[in-house]
Amino acid sequence: MQIIVNAEPREIRADTLEAALDELGFTSPAIATALNGAFVSRAKRVDTRLTAGDRLEVLSPMQGG
Amino acid sequence: MRLYDSEVTSRLLLGTAQYPSPQVLMEAIRASASEIITVSLRRETAGGSGAGFWELLQQLGARILPNTAGCHTVRDAVTTAHMAREVFGTPWIKLEVIGHSDTLQPDVFALVEAARILSDEGFQVFPYTTEDLVVGERLIEAGCEVLMPWGAPIGSGQGLLRRDGLRAMRAHFPDVPLIVDAGIGRPSDAAEAMELGMDAVLLNTAVAKAGDPVLMARAMAQAVEAGRAGFEAEPMERRDMGVPSTPVLGLAELM
């Protein structure tokens, strides 16, 4: 199915957030996720099911002021 | 200085953005002697764009104050705060809710709402606000134990545009830590903020965009220290006329 990952359309086979992150190559432990604008904690990724058209944001540490 | 449940020695908080290189950033942080550095969250690329910076942060060992920079709504800011808490493992959040893209002025209405939500959820909120006293009161009612009034628009380096407002804040909130966040351009701006009785200064661009960021980081640290000592030493009153400092008594008559 197709979902939007950090504003880019991506085709994935996985149907959970945990598996999708792995499939998409997001392997760093220092990431946080939001699905359709709502925070999804690390612990809930494995039980969070994805549906086509979902908007996934994957964020990581960046320099900031 | 006490910020929530933490005792902090350095009164200079430093941002980590816009440095010419990670090496310069690390040296500047050391030169500033800052114990608290601000960081952000941005989109990760597959393969780990954030991993390098993450490792650098681990090496630094400074206390991390994540921000919600770039957020324009309560929902954005609250979601970003949750993501930051998980990644950085801290309840601290520098809460920015921007109301205007040109001035980067905080949307104080959304700020108060987001501060209430986050405080109720156990966050320790450092709100980027204006010098408005009523907004300050609302933020404290919402659970904030620190206020961070702007000196001038973020990244402008214009110094303190509303000294009277900052002075009024100091008088109105004698026991609340006040940190001037944004607008500092030169060491004299930082010293002035401290002379007004602010508890600390948070700056980024002034150091990162200086010709020699490491030297400027040291200069800012010295300015903050000097300004604080000047405030504690209670400066003399200004006088309208000159008053000789050398005694007049005993002056020779040579005419």
Residues of B in contact with A27 (CB under 8 A): 47-48
What residues does each domain of chain A span?
2-59
B8, pLDDT greater than 80: yes
Q: Which of B39, B51, B80 sits opposite A28 (nearest CB)?
A: B51
Helix (H) or strand (E) holding A38: strand A38-40
Q: Whose CA is closest to B202, among B244, B152, B162, B161?
A: B152
Predicted local confidence at residue B93, as pLDDT: 98
Predicted local confidence at residue B248, as pLDDT: 85
**Structural fold of domain A2-59:** Ubiquitin-like (UB roll) (3.10.20)
Determine, for residues A61 and B155 on separate chains, whether the beta-carbon distance falls below 8 Å: no
Determine, for residues B42 and A62 on separate chains, whether the beta-carbon distance falls below 8 Å: yes
Known active-site residue B209: no
Predicted local confidence at residue B61, as pLDDT: 85
Give the list of residues 6+ apart from residue B217 with CB closer than 8 angstroms, or none: B14, B27, B28, B29, B31, B32, B207
Determine, for residues A64 and B82 on separate chains, whether the beta-carbon distance falls below 8 Å: no
Structure tokens at B70: 């770039």
Segment B30-81, tens digit of pLDDT: 999 999 999 999 999 877 777 788 888 888 889 999 999 999 999 999 999 9
Determine, for residues A61 and B87 on separate chains, whether the beta-carbon distance falls below 8 Å: yes
B166 vs chain A: nearest CA distance in angstroms?
21
- Which residue among B94, B170, B218, B228 is the active-site one? B94
Residues A13-20: contacts with CB within 8 Å, 24+ apart? A14/A50, A15/A49, A15/A50, A16/A45, A16/A46, A16/A47, A16/A48, A16/A49, A16/A50, A17/A44, A17/A45, A17/A46, A17/A48, A17/A49, A17/A50, A17/A56, A18/A45, A18/A46, A18/A48, A20/A50, A20/A56
Segment B192-235, tens digit of pLDDT: 999 999 999 999 999 999 999 999 999 999 999 999 999 999 99
What percent of chain B lies above the pLDDT cut of 90? 88
Q: Which of B19, B39, B82 sits opposite A39 (nearest CB)?
A: B82
ipTM: 0.95
Looking at B14-18, B57-61, B90-94, B171-175, which range is the least confident one? B57-61
Which residues share a beta bridge with B7? B2
Segment A4-61, tens digit of pLDDT: 999 999 999 999 999 999 999 998 899 999 999 999 999 999 999 999 999 999 999 9
Q: Whose CA is closest to B79, among A49, A51, A33?
A: A33
> Distance between alpha carbon B23 and the CA centroid of its chain, in Å?
23
Predicted structure pTM score? 0.93
Determine, for residues A65 and B69 on separate chains, whether the beta-carbon distance falls below 8 Å: yes
Residues of B in contact with A58 (CB under 8 A): 43-44
Q: Which of B44, B88, B154 sits opposite A26 (nearest CB)?
A: B44
Residues of A in contact with B57 (CB under 8 A): 61
Determine, for residues B87 and A32 on separate chains, whether the beta-carbon distance falls below 8 Å: yes
